[in-house]
Amino acid sequence: MKMIIRGGRVLDPVSKRDEIADLYIQNGLVALPFEADSSTQIIDAAGRLVAPGFIDMHVHLREPGFEAKETIATGTAAAVRGGFTGVACMPNTNPVADNAAIIEFIKNKALEAGRCGVYPVGAITRGSQGKEMAELAGMRESGAVAFSDDGQPVKDAWMMRLAMQYCKMLGAVIISHCEEKSLVAGGVMHEGYYSTILGLKGIPAAAEEIMVSRDIILAAETGCPVHIAHISTAGSVALVREAKKRGISVTAEVTPHHFSLTDGAVADYSTNAKVNPPLRGEADLQAVLAGLADGTIDVIATDHAPHTYDEKNVEFDLAPFGMVGLETAVGLVWSELVHKGILTPLQAVAKLSFNPASILGLNRGMLTEGAAADITIIDPDLEETVDPAKFAGKGRNTPFTGRKLKGMPVMTIVAGEIKYQRSQKSGVRSRESEVRSQNEGTV
């Protein structure tokens, strides 16, 4: 029950701590320094980053209903392999998570799997159909951390306003999937140069921006906190930046694919790059990077959306939207943001731990004494080539196959227990961990 993580660079966004230090863990909590005895597990973290456990606040675990794509067990295995100690799962399952019984089911399945924290998001409307309000209070009592009809926008402004009035009372955040369907109109990729030359129907940036502005206006009016999911356009980033300046309670997340790819990735009609919102143009990508750097974008979340091979192995127009993200996210954050100087390690850690935790009201994302010992350890120099065959999750639908990443999660600790440890054999680092008893794999 005792562990010392020795000699790592400890990064704690709450206290702004960034120093080489030992971290002490006892009974599943971060502890004050103690003397090691024979029962103390010693982890050598020299050259590594020691951060509060990462929380992915936008994941599709697919269970109940779509177990061929992913289950709570496989999705959480992917999470810990990706360095995440907790995930918030979206309600677009079958049946939709729109009542307390399904929230309980998800929590029980997560306990059974025993890998990482699972924080269910409840639907805003029954069946996410947008017509009648779901049982928000009952779901809140059962542990729903937020409400969203993710996968679908709440089309009706009156319904969204009512949901915000309820959520304001419940102290819960609304996560908004911003899409004006009349402008999407059957589009399958970003509307721009590539959609024109590929002859595919485009989704204009305005389809997202109209809904971002509507929900900012409603957040201002109701006082309900609103979190913009998977922000993807320059116009949306500008709207959120302006709203924050005006003191409106709005936050935003971006996915790794939206800060590292453009619509050029669709040029070979690869269905693994078909995602909603779509991969955007270069100016949008630059705006997203600026939004990450200046704090407009609070959170990095994956929108992990596994599909089967057969579902994606069809022509572009027919393929479902979505890509997996849990097992490549940290590598992309370090390769594209930290090593390129867009974020400091401490800023990157904040967007992966404390910021999502505080938006969801979770007592997580910090390394102060007494905090839950959910810890992510990263080797910032470890290089790895993305190989979907090694994924712990069921989905292989990633456009990053073969991409070389630098900076990988090497250990995931949940409540003081090692849940995943990465093999270092292929890495550039030859230092061996002192914990020799456990090979690569999900514990």
Q: Summarize as ranges the residues that interact with Zn ion (CB under 5 A).
A: 150, 177, 229
Report the C-alpha gap between 163 and 270 in whole angstroms: 37
Over its C-alpha atoms, the chain yields an Rg (Å, rounded) of: 21
Which lies closer to Zn ion via its Cβ, residue 276 or residue 412?
276
Q: Which residues contact 409 (CB under 8 A, 6 or more apart)?
A: 54, 81, 82, 83, 330, 376, 377, 378, 420, 422
Q: Is 56 a catalytic residue?
A: no
Give CA–CA dist 64/21, Å, rounded.
Answer: 43
Among 56, 284, 303, 379, the one annotated catalytic:
303
* HSE of 426, CA atoms in CB hemisphere, 13 A: 13
Give the CA distances from residue 244 to residues 20, 226, 409, in Å, rounded to whole numbers and listed in that order: 34, 11, 32
Q: Give least dist CB 271 to Zn ion, A.
A: 18
User: What whole-number distance in Å separates Cα of residue 304 and Cα of residue 190?
Assistant: 19
Report how far residue 81's alpha carbon sits from residue 54's, in angstroms, rounded to the nearest whole number. 12
Cα–Cα distance for residue pair 140/163, rounded to 1 Å:
13
d(CA 93, CA 118): 15
Helix (H, G, I), strand (E, B) or coil at 165: helix
CB of 150 to Zn ion, least distance (A): 4
Contact between residue 51 and residue 33 where contact means Cβ atoms under 8 Å apart: no
Query: With contact defined as beta carbons under 8 Å apart, do 74 and 68 qualify?
Result: no
Q: Is residue 388 packed enough to be buried (19+ CB in 10 Å), middle (13-18) or exposed (0-12)?
A: middle
Cα distance between residue 100 and residue 129, in whole Å: 18
Q: How far is the CB of 406 from Zn ion (least distance, A)?
A: 29
The least CB distance from residue 305 to Zn ion, in Å, is: 9
Q: Which residues pair with 44 in a beta bridge?
A: 6
Alpha helix (H) ranges present in 186-233? Answer: 193-198, 205-222
Rounded-to-integer distance, Cα 402 and Cα 265, Å = 14
Q: Are 124 and 97 in contact (CB under 8 A)?
A: no
Sign, CA dihedral 224-225-226-229, equals negative
User: Between 77 and 121, whose beta carbon lies closer to Zn ion?
Assistant: 121
**Catalytic annotation, residues:** 303
